[in-house]
């Protein structure tokens, strides 16, 4: 979609980017905005199809663009590839209201109609097959990636005044219940009892922000916890540069790109033993895995890294090698191109 301060058209490294707006404001009604945006996307796709002589593949990412993706695929008889990043059922640990049921149905229809599906982990593959009754043969697992070069020159100055003696624990992500930030805060008093110089930096925004700030106040640890709000790339990299450990105690996580970003900055990671995070991290080799439901386990893992420099260095080294060798964008691009070819061949052969 069109974004403030970004042009409606850009050409970046051979990729033509067209950003489309929506006549309806998102704040008016979310469902109205979604339909309006998809309608504009279809209109732009029809225009571009005429101008360039046709598309080979339509690639739709998640339910927000399902209507546009399915429509353009049918209008021009073009193979449809869908990436399912997460599911409404997984995000909410079930379907509890009409909106969630509707989104689930959209996700299911998109998955069924897609010629090929991409997901980011074994965990997500199993979830898609179970929820949407999709055959395994049309699903390809392609992990998300990270560019280590973006983290080579980490800044040593920032708007955040982090002392060289502070032992920084860093979380970055959306402030929603499934990310487990509330559990990280609950675990922090125990961390402080063992490592008084520990400081917790929480980067990001979300609907749980006020609740989390109150929790910090109730626990009396306001001096040791910093909520950064939305954090820009430069500031994020600065905190990574100063952090002793990055913690992502998620209860639901289809992949966990933030863990890879932390690894790329040579920051040891602790993750919830769930979903894609459990697949990325090899316990005690490239990071530590904990049960996010057990507060003491989380606190003890943080203390372990903050007080064991030898362990921290070993985790840093192994994780850095993992990012470079497995999560390369070159490999991911090649595998995505193979999925496009399979979708095109499937249509040519008339396979349903």
pLDDT value of residue 27: 54
Diameter of the chain measured on Cα atoms: 66
- Give the residue-averaged pLDDT of 174-194: 98
DSSP 198: E
pLDDT value of residue 156: 65
- Give the residue-averaged pLDDT of 297-315: 98
| Model confidence pLDDT, tens digit, residues 95-141 | 999 999 999 999 999 999 999 999 999 999 999 999 999 999 999 99
pLDDT value of residue 155: 64
pLDDT value of residue 235: 87
Q: Where are the alpha helices (DSSP H) in 95-249?
A: 98-113, 122-132, 181-194, 209-219, 233-242
pLDDT value of residue 306: 98
pLDDT value of residue 32: 86
Distance CA 272, CA 283 (A): 11
For 26, the token pair is 């998102």
Among residues 197, 126, 137, which one has the least CA distance to residue 166? 197
pTM across the whole model:
0.76
Cβ proximity of 306 and 195 under 8 Å:
yes
Distance CA 55, CA 36 (A): 23
Mean pLDDT of the chain: 92
Distance CA 38, CA 132 (A): 23
C-alpha torsion sign, points 86, 92, 94, 95: negative
Is residue 312 scored above 60 in pLDDT? yes
Distance CA 278, CA 289 (A): 7
| Model confidence pLDDT, tens digit, residues 337-352 | 999 999 999 777 665 4
DSSP 6: S
Q: What are the φ and ψ backbone dihedral angles of 93, each rounded to 5 degrees?
A: 50, 55
pLDDT value of residue 151: 74
Query: ∠ CA(287), CA(263), CA(267), 5° rounding?
Result: 80
pLDDT value of residue 208: 98
CA distance to 9, 17, 42, 44, 296, per residue, from 20 (Å):
9, 10, 10, 7, 48
pLDDT value of residue 158: 66
pLDDT value of residue 23: 72
Task: Give the position of tokens 């602790």.
Answer: 270
Among residues 38, 36, 94, which one has the least CA distance to residue 64? 38
Query: ∠ CA(296), CA(195), CA(220), 5° rounding?
Result: 75
Q: Which long-range contacts (CB under 8 A, 24 or more apart) does 54-62 make?
A: 54/78, 56/340, 56/344, 57/81, 57/340, 57/343, 57/344, 59/83, 59/340, 60/110, 60/114, 61/85, 62/86, 62/107
| Model confidence pLDDT, tens digit, residues 53-77 | 899 999 999 999 999 999 999 999 9
| Model confidence pLDDT, tens digit, residues 10-42 | 999 999 999 998 776 655 678 888 999 999 999
| Model confidence pLDDT, tens digit, residues 229-287 | 998 888 888 899 899 999 999 999 988 899 999 999 999 999 999 988 999 999 999 99
Domains and CATH numbers, the chain: 9-146+330-349 (3.40.50.2000), 148-326 (3.40.50.2000)
**What angle do helix axes 66-76 and 30-52 make, rounded to 10 degrees?**
30
Least confident of 25-39, 177-191, 255-269, 313-327: 25-39
pLDDT value of residue 24: 67
């Amino acid at each position: 979609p069109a974004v403030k301060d970004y042009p409606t058209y850009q050409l970046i490294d051979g990729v033509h980017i067209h950003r489309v707006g929506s006549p309806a404001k998102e704040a008016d009604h979310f469902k109205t905005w979604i339909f309006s945006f998809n309608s504009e996307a279809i209109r732009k796709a029809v225009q571009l199809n005429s101008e360039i002589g046709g598309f080979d593949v339509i690639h739709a990412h998640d339910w927000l663009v399902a209507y546009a993706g399915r429509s353009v695929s049918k209008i021009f008889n073009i193979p449809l590839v869908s990436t399912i990043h997460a599911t409404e059922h997984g995000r909410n640990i079930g379907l509890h209201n009409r909106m969630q049921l509707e989104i689930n149905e959209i996700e299911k229809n998109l998955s069924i109609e897609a010629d090929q599906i991409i997901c980011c982990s074994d965990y997500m593959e199993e979830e898609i097959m179970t929820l949407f009754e999709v055959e395994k043969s049309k699903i390809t697992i392609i992990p998300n990636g990270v560019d280590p070069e973006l983290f080579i020159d980490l800044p040593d100055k920032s708007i955040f005044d982090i002392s060289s003696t502070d032992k920084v624990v860093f979380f970055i992500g959306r402030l929603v219940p499934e990310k487990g930030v509330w559990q990280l805060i609950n675990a922090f008093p125990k961390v402080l009892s063992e490592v008084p110089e520990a400081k917790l930096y929480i980067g990001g925004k979300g609907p749980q922000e006020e609740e989390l700030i109150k929790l910090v106040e109730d626990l009396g640890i306001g001096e040791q916890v910093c909520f950064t709000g939305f954090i820009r790339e430069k500031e994020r990299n600065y905190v990574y540069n100063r952090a002793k450990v990055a913690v992502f105690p998620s209860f639901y996580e289809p992949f966990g790109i933030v863990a890879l970003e932390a690894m790329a900055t040579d920051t040891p990671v602790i993750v919830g033993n769930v979903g894609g995070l459990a697949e990325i991290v090899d316990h005690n080799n490239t990071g530590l895995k904990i049960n996010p439901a057990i507060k003491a386990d989380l606190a003890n893992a943080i203390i372990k890294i903050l007080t064991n420099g030898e362990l921290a260095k070993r985790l840093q080294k192994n994780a850095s090698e993992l990012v470079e060798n497995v999560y390369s964008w070159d490999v991911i691009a090649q595998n995505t191109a193979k999925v496009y070819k399979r979708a095109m061949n499937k249509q040519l052969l008339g396979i349903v």
